[in-house]
């Protein structure tokens, strides 16, 4: 079996019919589908067993977050590659076929990013992920016309909302870090893969329409808290020493800018709590850092060449500060 497609769910029953209906309509057929329920209370499990009996169902009594929930799916997956898909998406019928073709053309690539768009397919949500020198991952081409998205090519990583991972890569570096729970776990994974010498690829033709954080929302208290904490952990765990010292002042500046943005959206306390939790978690991340850095195959100079500088466009500033476009 080529693919194991894992769909994680938490109280997202309203989205499941569309998502799994689109999976049933895929032109590529050599895959299994695994539904992992993260402690839902909206009868999602009963709905799935009744409407989509061909799907393998994993029931978790407690919410283990994005990392832990998907790890439960990986634990029973039988495919040669793992494909993650958000529950609030609608993949195009040839989505898996395009991923498979890309994987055949680029056998050395460990991660393949889908082209995530808004629900109407007009604007891009992510054309593969990049990474700033501050350690913050971002969706390339986000907010711009999908028709003008970049051509397929190398990227830093993939948004976990619709991503392909070779099993050999997972066996080499492990999967998503369950300590992260929610947010930046795909950035952390991308960082670890790059440091280990793996590459990532953006497949423009593998299109998935996304409701844009319909289950959680972008500026909820839980997202702001985990985003603040996990961004710090990504840097501590993955950024090599000389680059950490070089880019440290920029990281501090970005933290202050994000704190201001959170305050303007009424989430300042959540952001500060997240930063505090991030500092308290540094000893644990430092222990993981030793393993990551000892296994590093990519030079610091080569990594620096893969990172994006800080570019504050007027559109980006308006979004950060909460202004309407």
Which CATH number characterizes residue 59's domain?
3.90.550.10
Burial pattern 149-180, b for ≥16 Cβ within 10 A else e, equals beebeebbbbbbbbbbbbeebbeebebbbbbb
> How confident is the model at residue 235, as a pLDDT?
97
- Is 216 within the bounds of a domain? no
pLDDT of residue 217: 53
Q: Are residues 15 and 163 in the same domain?
A: yes
Q: Are 34 and 7 in contact (CB under 8 A)?
A: yes
Domain co-membership, 276 together with 228: yes
DSSP state of 149: P
Tokens representing 48?
């799935």
Q: Which of 178, 210, 242 is the last residue of a domain?
A: 210
Domain co-membership, 102 together with 182: yes
Give yes or no for a contact between 97 and 187, defined as CB atoms under 8 angstroms apart. Answer: no
Please list, in sequence order, all residues whose beta carbon lies within 8 angstroms of the beta carbon of residue 106, skipping any fewer than 6 positions away. Answer: 112, 201
Tokens of 317: 């500033």
Residue ending a domain, among 210, 242, 269, is 210
Residue 102, strand partner residues = none
Residues 199 and 273 in one domain: no
pLDDT truncated to tens, each residue of the chain (325 aa)?
999 999 999 999 999 999 999 999 999 999 999 999 999 999 999 999 999 999 999 999 999 999 999 999 999 999 999 999 999 999 999 999 999 999 999 999 999 999 999 999 999 999 999 999 999 999 999 999 999 999 999 999 999 999 999 999 999 999 999 999 999 999 999 999 999 999 999 999 999 999 975 444 578 999 999 999 999 999 999 999 999 999 999 999 999 999 999 999 999 999 999 999 999 999 999 999 999 999 999 999 999 999 998 654 444 444 443 433 3
**138 and 278 both lie in a single domain:** no
What whole-number distance in Å separates Cα of residue 314 and Cα of residue 103?
Answer: 37
- Quote the pTM value: 0.92
What is the predicted pLDDT for the residue at 311?
55
In a domain, 58, yes or no: yes
CA atoms within 13 A on the CB side of 223: 11
What are the DSSP calls for 3-57, one per residue? Answer: EEEEEEESS-HHHHHHHHHHHHT-S---EEEEEEEES-SSSHHHHHHHH-TTSEE
* Residue 90 sits in the same domain as residue 64: yes
- Which residues, in sequence order, are CB contacts of 113 under 8 Å at separation 6+? 126, 127, 128, 129, 155, 157, 158, 159, 162, 163, 164, 200, 201, 202, 203
In a domain, 61, yes or no: yes
Q: Tokens in use for 126?
A: 């992510």
Calpha distance 279→37 (Å, rounded):
31
Residue 215 domain-assigned (yes or no): no
Pick from 134, 130, 128, 82: which is nearest to 238 by CA? 134
Residue 239's contacts (CB-CB under 8 Å, 6 or more residues apart) are 135, 191, 247
Decide if 233 is inside a domain: yes
Host domain of residue 291: 221-321
Residue 15 lies in a domain: yes
Shared-domain flag, residues 27 and 109: yes
Backbone angles phi, psi at 126, to 5 degrees: -155, 125
- Residues 148 and 243 occupy one common structural domain: no
> Do residues 245 and 192 share a domain?
no
Residue 173: enclosing H or E segment and its boundaries? helix 167-173
Task: Say yes or no: 191 and 226 in one domain.
Answer: no
Same domain, 142 and 76: yes
Do residues 128 and 253 both lie within one domain?
A: no
Which residue is associated with the tokens 């790059």? 194
Residue 213 · residue 125 · CB < 8 Å: no
User: Last residue of some domain: 210, 235, 268?
Assistant: 210
Report phi then psi at 196, rounded to 5: -80, -5
Contact indicator for 170, 83 with CB cutoff of 8 Å: no
Residues 6+ apart with CB under 8 A from 158: 111, 112, 113, 114, 126, 128, 129, 164, 186, 190, 200, 202
Confirm whether 288 is domain-assigned.
yes
Number of domains making up the chain:
2
- Alpha carbon distance 248, 246 (integer Å): 6
The answer to the question of residue 43 being in a domain is yes
């Amino acid at each position: 079996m080529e693919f194991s497609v894992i769909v994680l769910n938490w109280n997202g029953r309203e989205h499941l019919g569309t998502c799994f209906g689109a999976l049933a309509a895929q032109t590529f057929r050599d895959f299994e589908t695994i539904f992992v329920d993260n402690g839902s209370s909206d009868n999602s499990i009963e709905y799935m067993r009744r409407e989509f009996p061909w799907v393998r169902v994993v029931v978790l009594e407690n919410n283990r977050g994005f990392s832990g929930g998907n790890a439960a799916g990986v634990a029973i997956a039988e495919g040669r590659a793992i494909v993650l898909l958000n529950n609030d998406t609608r993949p195009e019928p040839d989505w898996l076929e395009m991923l498979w073709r890309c994987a055949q053309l680029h056998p050395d690539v460990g991660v393949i990013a889908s082209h995530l768009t808004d629900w109407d397919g007009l604007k891009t949500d992510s054309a593969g992920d990049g990474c700033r020198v501050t350690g913050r991952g971002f969706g390339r081409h986000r907010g711009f016309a999908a028709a003008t998205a970049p051509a397929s090519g190398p990227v830093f990583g993939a948004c976990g909302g619709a991503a392909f991972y070779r099993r050999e890569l997972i066996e080499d570096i492990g999967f998503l870090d369950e300590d992260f729970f929610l947010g930046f776990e795909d950035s952390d994974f991308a960082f670890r893969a790059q440091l280990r010498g793996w590459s990532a690829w953006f497949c423009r033709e593998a299109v998935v329409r996304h409701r844009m954080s319909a289950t959680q929302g972008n500026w909820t208290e839980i997202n702001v808290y985990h985003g603040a904490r996990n961004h710090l952990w990504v840097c501590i765990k993955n950024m090599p020493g000389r680059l950490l010292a070089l880019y440290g002042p920029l990281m501090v500046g970005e933290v202050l800018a994000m704190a201001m943005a959170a305050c303007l959206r009424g989430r300042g306390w959540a952001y500060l709590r997240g930063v505090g939790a991030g500092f308290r978690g540094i000893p644990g991340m430092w222990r993981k850092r030793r393993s990551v850095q000892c296994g590093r195959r990519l030079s610091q100079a080569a990594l620096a060449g893969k990172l994006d500088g800080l570019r504050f466009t007027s559109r980006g500033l308006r979004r950060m500060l909460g202004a309407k476009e």
